[in-house]
Amino acid sequence: MSGDRMAHEQIVGRALIADDDDDFRGLLARRARKMGLSVEEASDGNEAFDLITKKSFDVLVMDLYMPGRTGLDVIRDAQKIDPNLEAIILTGSASLETAIEALRAGVYDYLTKPLESMTIFEMTLSRALERRHLIRENERLFKQVQRLAMTDQLTGLFNRHKLNDFLESEVERARRYGRPLSVIMLDLDDMKTINDTHGHAAGDAVLKLVADSIRQHVRRVDLPARIGGDEFLILLPEAQLSVAAEVAKRVCAQILSTEFMESKVSVSAGVGQWAQAYNTAKGFIHAVDQALYQAKRSGGKKIFSHRLNGSRNSDEENDNEA
């Protein structure tokens, strides 16, 4: 980056410049402010570190040898607070040993005093800040990719892939330690009619409303997911079947009370609790899915609980109208 180009670009960031030479430090600070940076100054290592504990910075410009603490000492301690903090060392006695020591300490670059020109300082400071911003942007993008990889983009609930990860680990925990684990499966009864009558955009809006209803009635430890077009699953660790059934009632009641395009949304549910007889997570989910299937076959708007005796009939114990 040329000096002329930098003169027309404002670089955003916060810098701490520490040097016991007041005139030299002031010169660097004025140039950094001219670049657009917010600058704090320190005259020794202790003052520099005190500022670091009170304020956040993007880049440190440290004299190697200062009263109190050396520049490398300040940088090492500062990077314990912020591992991605960029740093530049200033030294009047450059050697291979000091260069290696600086690089091992995580310093971006080191400059020898007196500086050949202020352009060198500007270029080094600018590039250190560019790397700082690049690392931050990469971290943001990585988190975004992680979020997209485990969430359903339409509803914001977890997707099937993330659900499978949690399901296997929770089933293993329930199997090993005998802890309760329940599942609720939900399926909209009239999704095809909504799509055919009002279009898929309307169908998407209904799915979002259903997701909102689910979110309002689950705990922080629960895992709600969209597992198909209009199918949802809620994994409830540390929940007995009776608790899961009550959650299913509340979720279904809210969905059934939701009006969309002057008509009610209809939903059915299946509920089950893990038991060793299911053998696998797949077997467990299949059993709950069968309960859901029976609820839909019985006319919809119902909640069926799967029990190990296989009963999914319409008596009050196993079948509740939503």
pLDDT tens per residue, range 88-129: 998 877 666 666 676 677 788 888 888 888 999 999 999 999
Q: Are residues 211 and 100 in the same domain?
A: no
Please say which residue of 112, 146, 180 terminates a domain.
146
- CA-to-CA separations, 240 to 180, 236, 274, 295, in angstroms, rounded: 6, 9, 9, 20
Q: Are residues 256 and 316 in the same domain?
A: yes
Q: Residue 151 falls within a domain, yes or no?
A: no
Strand order in the sheet with 86-91: 38-42, 14-18, 59-63, 86-91, 109-112
Q: Is the per-residue pLDDT at 312 higher than 50?
A: no
- CA-to-CA separations, 102 to 79, 87, 90, in angstroms, rounded: 13, 10, 10
Q: Is the per-residue pLDDT at 3 higher than 90?
A: no
Q: What is the mean pLDDT of residues 22-38?
A: 94
Q: Is the per-residue pLDDT at 78 higher than 50?
A: yes
| Residue numbers of the domain that contains 240 | 160-321
Q: What is the mean pLDDT of residues 256-282?
A: 90
Q: Residue 270 falls within a domain, yes or no?
A: yes
Please say which residue of 117, 146, 175 terminates a domain.
146
pLDDT confidence of residue 75 = 92
pLDDT confidence of residue 315 = 31
Please say which residue of 87, 117, 146 terminates a domain.
146
Coil vs helix vs strand at 244: helix
Q: Are residues 173 and 257 in the same domain?
A: yes
* Cis-peptide, bond into residue 83, ω within 30° of zero: no
Q: Residue 152 falls within a domain, yes or no?
A: no
Specify whether 230 is catalytic. yes
Q: How confident is the model at residue 292 (pLDDT cuts 50, 70, 90)?
A: very high
Any idea what the CATH number is for the domain that residue 70 is in?
3.40.50.2300
DSSP designation for 310? -
pLDDT confidence of residue 288 = 96
Q: Are residues 256 and 192 in the same domain?
A: yes
Q: What is the mean pLDDT of the chain?
A: 86
Other CB atoms within 10 A of residue 40 CB:
17
Q: Are residues 185 and 309 in the same domain?
A: yes
Q: Is the per-residue pLDDT at 243 higher than 70?
A: yes
Give the distance, in angstroms, between the CA of residue 250 and the centroid of all CA atoms in the same chain: 28
Q: Are residues 184 and 215 in the same domain?
A: yes
Q: Is the per-residue pLDDT at 17 higher than 80?
A: yes
Q: Are residues 134 and 240 in the same domain?
A: no
Q: Are residues 129 and 237 in the same domain?
A: no
Q: Residue 154 falls within a domain, yes or no?
A: no
- Into how many domains does the chain fold? 2
Q: Are residues 174 and 290 in the same domain?
A: yes
Higher pLDDT, 189 or 260: 189
Most confident of 102-106, 169-173, 311-315: 169-173
Of the residues 58, 190, 222, 230, only one is catalytic, namely 230
What is the phi/psi pair of residue 251, to 5°?
Answer: -65, -50
CB of 202 closer than 8 Å to CB of 263:
no
d(CA 314, CA 187): 18
Q: Are residues 176 and 297 in the same domain?
A: yes
Q: Residue 153 falls within a domain, yes or no?
A: no
pLDDT confidence of residue 267 = 94
Q: Are residues 123 and 17 in the same domain?
A: yes
Q: Is the per-residue pLDDT at 1 higher than 80?
A: no
Q: Residue 88 falls within a domain, yes or no?
A: yes
Q: Is the per-residue pLDDT at 245 higher than 80?
A: yes
Range with lowest mean pLDDT among 3-7, 27-31, 50-54, 195-199:
3-7
- CA-to-CA separations, 140 to 103, 133, 155, 175, in angstroms, rounded: 26, 10, 21, 37
Q: Residue 263 falls within a domain, yes or no?
A: yes
Q: Are residues 307 and 207 in the same domain?
A: yes
Other CB atoms within 10 A of residue 315 CB:
8
CA proximity to 132, closest of 16, 296, 241, 221: 16
pLDDT confidence of residue 279 = 92
Q: Residue 55 falls within a domain, yes or no?
A: yes
Any idea what the CATH number is for the domain that residue 215 is in?
3.30.70.270
d(CA 209, CA 287): 27
